[in-house]
């Protein structure tokens, strides 16, 4: 059992699960993490494959073994709860603060031999192993909590886990991009209601990141500036779409938002990734994160579904051009209505918005906290 000291008094302790996967306990009280996984040994499914969609030259991951995964179990069968006598879960300990473990049904996994994903794939490119990592991040052992209910200290511990995972995953030769995200709500397909996020570490630059990289590089070539810096400066200048701010972070509905409620949160001093985020910014994240998520749930007085995604610079490319920020996107457009990505959005990529960004920013600001 190796224990490692991280920032903010957080320690990380690694253990192995029954099938060889690693679980990492992120703690603030110096807890010992000795519990063994008592479940029977289980074989891991084989690695999947990635095929290039020849119409778009984008990789599609085929992971055919995932069809049978657990789907919305009741609270008493929650696999992300701590283990208890008679009910063994993914977390062998009887309690935890924050844990990160390898997904039991990962779409992407460590390749057995080194893989090389062609940079300029095209119609002739053969399938490659679905190399990468899929990790689960449990924010708390409390099933009934949500990210916005976490204490400042808990959020800081989650942030240290994101930073630690980014640093460690960046060291893997086959990883090109690291993407922490959270799906919240059955409306966006959540299969486990326990408060948790995921980290996908891709062996390729995912299509939307690749697009952002192209645009940011072009902006840099043209102006010498970092695109996200100019975007945040415009949001601060325009002011009308600002939702919240503190000394280190700015939260805004983006100028051309695509979802009825969309909030981007960026540090005032832009950085490539979590590893580069300094102490002051790390400490000031919790209050603005809680505030924007509370505002989001306050708009209609209902728990909002969302996808919250962290965008960082890729591991090996574009580190001069892309910058860390958090995007929160909700498809709820009214209490009983969702926005669906139908023909125009889904088949053609052209987004149609029913609500002006300035209107939704106003609604978010108007929420009494």
Task: Assess 320 for contact with a copy of itself (CB under 8 A).
Answer: no
Task: Assess 52 for contact with a copy of itself (CB under 8 A).
Answer: yes
Task: Assess 233 for contact with a copy of itself (CB under 8 A).
Answer: no
Active site residue 196: yes
Q: Which two tokens stand for residue 193?
A: 């209601």
Q: Which stretch binds a copy of itself (CB under 8 A): 3-11, 31-39, 165-173, 346-354?
A: 346-354
Q: How far apart are CA 113 and CA 103, in angstroms?
A: 20
How many other C-beta atoms lie within 10 A of the C-beta of residue 11? 17
Q: Which is nearer to a copy of itself, 33 or 311 (CB)?
A: 311
Q: Which of residues 129-148 bind a copy of itself (CB under 8 A)?
A: none
Q: How far apart are CA 347 and CA 340, in angstroms?
A: 12
Task: Assess 35 for contact with a copy of itself (CB under 8 A).
Answer: no
Q: Which stretch binds a copy of itself (CB under 8 A): 30-38, 205-213, 239-247, 269-277?
A: 205-213
- Measured CA distances, 302 to 159, 169, 190 (Å): 26, 36, 17
Coil vs helix vs strand at 203: coil
Count the residues of the shown chain that bind a copy of itself, applying the rule CB under 8 A. 79
- Nearest approach in angstroms of CB 346 to a copy of itself is 5
Task: Assess 126 for contact with a copy of itself (CB under 8 A).
Answer: no
Q: What is the DSSP string of 299-314?
A: TTTSPPPEEEEEE---
- Of the residues 177, 196, 219, 311, which is catalytic? 196
Coil vs helix vs strand at 77: helix
Q: One symbol per residue from 237 to 276: x for binding a copy of itself (CB under 8 A), - otherwise; what is it?
A: -----------------xxxxx------------------
- Nearest approach in angstroms of CB 202 to a copy of itself is 6
- For residue 199, report the phi and psi dihedrals to the nearest 5 degrees: -125, 120
Q: Which is nearer to a copy of itself, 85 or 123 (CB)?
A: 123
Task: Assess 342 for contact with a copy of itself (CB under 8 A).
Answer: yes
Tokens 């006598």 -> residue? 85
Q: What is the DSSP string of 242-288?
A: EEEE-SSEEEE--TT--SSEEEEEEESS--SSGGG--HHHHHHHHHH
Q: Which stretch binds a copy of itself (CB under 8 A): 93-101, 140-148, 303-311, 312-320?
A: 303-311
- Nearest approach in angstroms of CB 36 to a copy of itself is 32
Task: Assess 8 for contact with a copy of itself (CB under 8 A).
Answer: no
Task: Assess 41 for contact with a copy of itself (CB under 8 A).
Answer: no
Closest CA to 139 of 182, 79, 92: 182
Q: Which two tokens stand for residue 311?
A: 């965008």
Q: Which two tokens stand for residue 73?
A: 């179990």
Q: Which residues are catalytic?
A: 196
């Amino acid at each position: 059992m190796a224990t490692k000291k991280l920032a903010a008094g957080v320690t990380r302790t690694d253990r192995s699960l029954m099938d060889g996967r690693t679980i990492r306990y992120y703690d603030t009280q110096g807890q010992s993490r000795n519990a063994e996984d008592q479940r029977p040994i289980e074989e891991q499914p084989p690695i999947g494959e990635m095929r290039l969609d020849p119409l778009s030259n984008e990789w599609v991951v085929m992971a055919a073994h995932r069809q049978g995964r657990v789907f919305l179990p009741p609270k008493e069968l929650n696999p992300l709860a701590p283990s208890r006598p008679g009910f063994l879960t993914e977390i062998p300990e009887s309690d935890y603060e924050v844990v990160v473990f390898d997904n039991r049904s990962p779409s992407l996994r460590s390749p057995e031999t080194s893989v090389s994903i062609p940079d300029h794939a095209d119609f002739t490119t053969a399938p490659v192993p679905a190399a990468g990592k899929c990790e689960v991040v449990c924010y708390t052992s409390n099933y009934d909590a949500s990210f916005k209910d976490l204490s400042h200290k808990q959020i800081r511990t989650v942030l240290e886990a994101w930073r630690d995972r980014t640093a460690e995953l960046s060291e893997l030769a086959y990883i090109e991009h690291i993407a922490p995200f959270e799906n919240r709500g059955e409306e966006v397909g959540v299969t486990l209601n326990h408060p948790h996020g995921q980290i996908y570490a891709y062996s390729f630059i995912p299509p939307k990141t690749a697009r952002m990289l192209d645009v940011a590089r072009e902006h840099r070539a043209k102006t010498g500036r970092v695109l996200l810096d100019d975007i945040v400066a415009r949001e601060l200048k325009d002011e009308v779409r600002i939702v919240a701010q503190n000394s280190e972070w700015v939260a805004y509905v983006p100028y051309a938002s695509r979802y009825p409620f969309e909030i981007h949160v960026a540090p005032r001093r832009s950085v490539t990734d979590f590893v580069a985020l300094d102490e002051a910014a790390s400490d000031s994240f919790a209050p603005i994160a809680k505030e924007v998520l509370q505002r989001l749930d306050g708009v209609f007085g209902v728990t909002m579904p969302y996808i919250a995604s962290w965008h960082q610079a890729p591991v090996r490319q574009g580190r001069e051009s892309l910058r860390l920020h958090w995007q929160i996107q909700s498809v709820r457009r009214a209490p009983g209505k969702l926005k669906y990505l139908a023909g125009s959005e889904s088949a053609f990529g052209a987004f149609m918005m029913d609500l002006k960004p300035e209107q939704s920013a106003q609604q978010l600001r108007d929420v009494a906290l």
